[in-house]
Chains A and B, each alone.
Chain A
């Protein structure tokens, strides 16, 4: 393998995919060297589950087990939204530290660096979903539907994560340093996730807030996931969630790519 390769005119799609996987691998290896990140998307959601179930659960729903049933699907959705922030933070670190330029100077597919980030993010998402369901199971959460419901819920969450990642990409490309990404991200994400039906039923809120909460895609997706995991209406909230995801992607993907092109 020490011979000089001949110069080739373009990258094949298969090679591009391998490069994407290599970049995703690198993102996951980083976790090994920075275990705090693992804590962020592992212990933090578990804390939320424990906190809300045992501290607030009784007051909100009358019983902790009943509350867990209601809240766990929403907490999975909320956690997904927070985990998407890693795409933006990682991208921003690469941009500010010069890793992105090194990647761009290599003969690899132009889309591989971004696709690799997002692919790694989807793996983190899948891990988080499994972890939360596992913890939920230990605390007494049971699927009211079946394996198909679980599979569809997972795909739906991952699809929404894919779309929502583009918001994170935009923040990552725009912000000057990774700390700003975090600040910007959390400032925006707290209202989006809390002003929803993740923790509390919509009909307990004042009328004007109900309108906001019902329109919030996080509420729609939480409803869809509830339906898919514990039973109940699925079609309408799932449809709205998918439409929201497509809408977010249609707006933020081109915007992010435009800003990225401007920045580098």
Chain B
């Protein structure tokens, strides 16, 4: 079986609200699937169902061929869970937390300790191993969470918003760790609110909104579909604006927008940037600004749904 996760028609209601309105998913062995969507889209509900923490109202799913409802115990032996909701014990030290999980998984004491030390080492927590987890920084906490979910060497790892709330440096470190695990052959289901994170880490992306899948594909397919990047150029001299417009419209194959001296166009292929640079250099056009900007999740949503992301707080703004 090449699909580690197969889910069909997952539906979950909480009282009046429909959290999931029929979600299909499949994740290929050894790949990273990015579940992308705004807060409240249903990402966490999907992870909770696939981690056997929550039962769907209808639909079915298998993990490694085991049914999440009838063979939950088998499923739990294959998965590791890290997220907003699956956490470590703040009152224990890093080492104790990892030994605790190892012992629960049936490891003898010496093995559990050895595994804990090994993980602390690979997550750069050696020095903090004897300190209570409540003294850790945000980035260290996430690393310990991640280490705790890897004690049993799971085949499939769920990462629920692994970098939300982290500073940019800790975020980059988390990305490196995740890349390292994937190159080791692990299958990962990642949820995120950030397009760049899904882009950087995922082989395939599923975009979720209001409990439904609204788009899926590789990052490139998705970006092509949604023109996920914007190329912006600002020539020094206003007389060059028409030349820049002509060059950009030829390369991007769309009519650029002009805002004063700023010329911008959505592009699917980042390779347009060096081409445009060459063209401008040949024509001797100097620019004060030239750059490729990733579309925000909001812009992707706009192009997928024709509507901006609805945040709960937007309701009061009317």
Q: Which residues of A contact B (CB under 8 A)?
A: 1-2, 4-5, 7-11, 15, 18-19, 22-23, 25-26, 29-30, 33-34, 94, 97-99, 101-108, 112, 264
Contact = CB atoms under 8 A, between A and B. Distances in A.
A105 B92 contact: no
Contacts of A11: 73
B5 to A, nearest CB: 15
B81 A5 contact: no
Nearest to B84: A98
Contact of A97 (B76, B77, B90, B93): B90
Contacts of A108: 104-105
A98 B152 CA distance: 19
28 contacts: A1-B108, A1-B111, A7-B64, A7-B74, A8-B73, A9-B71, A9-B73, A10-B73, A18-B106, A22-B103, A25-B100, A25-B103, A26-B89, A26-B92, A26-B96, A30-B92, A34-B91, A99-B87, A102-B88, A102-B101, A102-B149, A104-B53, A105-B52, A105-B53, A105-B76, A107-B74, A107-B76, A107-B77
A22 B103 CA distance: 7
Interface in B40-90: 48, 51-53, 64, 66, 71, 73-74, 76-79, 81, 83-90
A251 B49 CA distance: 31
A264 B105 CA distance: 22
Contacts of B48: 101
A-B pairs with lowest CB-CB distance, top 5: A98-B87, A107-B76, A102-B86, A105-B81, A1-B111
Contacts of A1: 107-108, 111, 115
A16 to B, nearest CB: 11
Given A33-B132, A106-B105, A22 B100 contact: yes
Given A97-B89, A102-B88, 17 more contacts: A1-B115, A15-B106, A22-B100, A25-B103, A30-B92, A94-B89, A98-B83, A98-B84, A99-B88, A101-B81, A101-B85, A101-B86, A102-B81, A102-B149, A104-B52, A105-B51, A105-B79
Nearest to B132: A33
Nearest to A102: B86
Given A9-B73, A9-B74, A11-B73, A23 B104 contact: yes
Interface centre among A1, A15, A102, A112 (most CB of B within 10 A): A102
A61 B66 CA distance: 69
Contact of A106 (B88, B93, B101): B101
B78 A7 contact: yes
A22 B107 CA distance: 11
B103 A102 contact: no
A38 to B, nearest CB: 13
A8 B105 CA distance: 12
Nearest to B66: A7
A94 B89 CA distance: 8
B91 A33 contact: yes
Nearest to B81: A105
A133 to B, nearest CB: 29
Interface in B87-136: 87-93, 96, 100-101, 103-108, 111, 115, 132
